[in-house]
Amino acid sequence: MWQRMGIWGLAILMAAALGAAPQERILRESPVAKVREWRLAAPVTYEHLSIFPVVAKRWAETGGYQTLDEALASGDAVVSERGGEIIRRSRDGRPVPLPAPQGGAQVGQLVLVNRGAKPLVLLAGEIVSGGKQDRVVSKDRIVAPGSDPLPLDVFCVERGRWSGGTAKFSAGLMMVHPSVREKAAVDQSQSEVWAAVRSGSTAPAARVEVEAGAATLSRDTLGRVIASEAQSESYIKVYKGSRVGQSVESFAEEVERRFARAVREMKDERVVGVVVAYGGEVAWADAFASPELFERYWGKLLRSYVVEALARPASQERATLDDALEFLRALEGRETIESEPGVYRWRQIAAGRYAEIELEALATKPLTLHWVKIRRTS
């Protein structure tokens, strides 16, 4: 069912909600018309954030994959600066030094070793903490077990530090919010990543703002937090380790409660992804090959959406189910593909203000593990 999820039947989600006549038209346009189980559920709303669950009755098995946070915590993955010593354990437990890519530490590249037994999944926007400065993964990819040390492309999310820290990186347990993630994953620009960390949202001001007192995170507030609590402009310190983090957490906990309540009412369906709207604008979608994989990322994904909601001017407008369905229409535009034979294929389609990215595993039969669609802010 998931063999070609790139446009993955999101059109089918639209068909199910729009009725028979639109369904016939959309199914003819979709190369995955046979997939009929997907559905877009009513939104979970709080303040000006709306989250539409993507639900399914059937899904793929994804227990054979390990996330970056899991692998770093267990020691199955090691991330270090270029030029540092890399150790892999032999089968009998002996440490075996490995040659690292030549050259000293670089802002835009780290070295990763997957010494576990499972393929390792990396998602654009995931933070690793330590080294000379915290970094964020630039692109989705899969790293096969037993691979040679991998030069890993990253962006810095701690502009004011290039010293100290630990030799190895640990899991940041965070996903940068959509404005920063867009600048890394789509624009591939370090300067724009830094600007988005410091300014919060890069989206234009809402057309209709709410009265004072709504939950918002202004640039002035971020500036004061950076000056007093996060002088190195560390993303983790700004958005988690400061008073900003307290606002994010309280907002996220309320959304989690509402989301969990809505999910409990579903009988034979499970959530595999979400579509996210701020005020009246549908801006983002993340979807996975299984409910289990979605749940492993849900906590930090939700908090990334909350940071974006707080950083955008609040609006009285509300996105509707039809707006979310329209957002899921498959793109036709410039296609870029990168791949490692037998391991993964990364595909991006860009068209105007929109981009969609698909990460497909190739180890056995093609299986799309993650799909994201973005309404770009610039």
Q: Are residues 236 and 321 in the same domain?
A: no
Q: Is residue 1 part of a domain?
A: no
- 92 or 113: whose pLDDT is higher? 113
Domain boundary pick from 186, 221, 245: 245
Q: Are residues 241 and 257 in the same domain?
A: no
Over residues 119-127, the mean pLDDT reads 98
Over residues 107-135, the mean pLDDT reads 95
Sequence-distant (6+) residues with CB within 8 A of 187 are none
Q: Are residues 185 and 76 in the same domain?
A: yes
Q: Are residues 74 and 120 in the same domain?
A: yes
pLDDT tens digits for 264-292? 988 889 999 999 999 999 999 999 999 99
Kindly tell me if the per-residue pLDDT of 6 is higher than 50: no
Residue 199 domain boundaries: 66-245
Is the full-model pTM beyond 0.95? no
Whole-angstrom distance, CA of residue 156 vs CA of residue 136: 6
Q: Is residue 220 part of a domain?
A: yes
Share of the chain above pLDDT 70, in %: 81
Q: Are residues 180 and 158 in the same domain?
A: yes
Q: Are residues 346 and 273 in the same domain?
A: yes
Q: Is residue 305 part of a domain?
A: no
The mean predicted confidence, pLDDT, of the chain is: 84
- 82 or 84: whose pLDDT is higher? 82
Over residues 208-221, the mean pLDDT reads 60
Over residues 326-330, the mean pLDDT reads 90
Tally of domains in the chain: 2
Amino acid 103: pLDDT: 57
- 303 or 266: whose pLDDT is higher? 303
Strands (E), the chain: 39-40, 44-46, 49-56, 66-67, 77-81, 86-89, 95-98, 109-114, 120-122, 126-130, 135-137, 141-143, 150-156, 169-175, 270-278, 281-288, 334-340, 344-351, 354-361, 367-375
Q: Is residue 3 part of a domain?
A: no
Amino acid 166: pLDDT: 72
Amino acid 18: pLDDT: 39
Domain boundary pick from 211, 245, 279: 245
Q: Is residue 301 part of a domain?
A: no
Q: Is residue 296 part of a domain?
A: no
253 phi, psi to nearest 5 deg: -60, -40
Kindly tell me if the per-residue pLDDT of 212 is higher than 80: no
CA trace torsion 308, 352, 125, 55 (10° rounding): 80
- 350 or 13: whose pLDDT is higher? 350
Amino acid 46: pLDDT: 96
Q: Is residue 47 part of a domain?
A: yes
Residue 250: both structure tokens together:
């309280």
Kindly tell me if the per-residue pLDDT of 197 is higher than 70: yes
Kindly tell me if the per-residue pLDDT of 28 is higher than 90: no
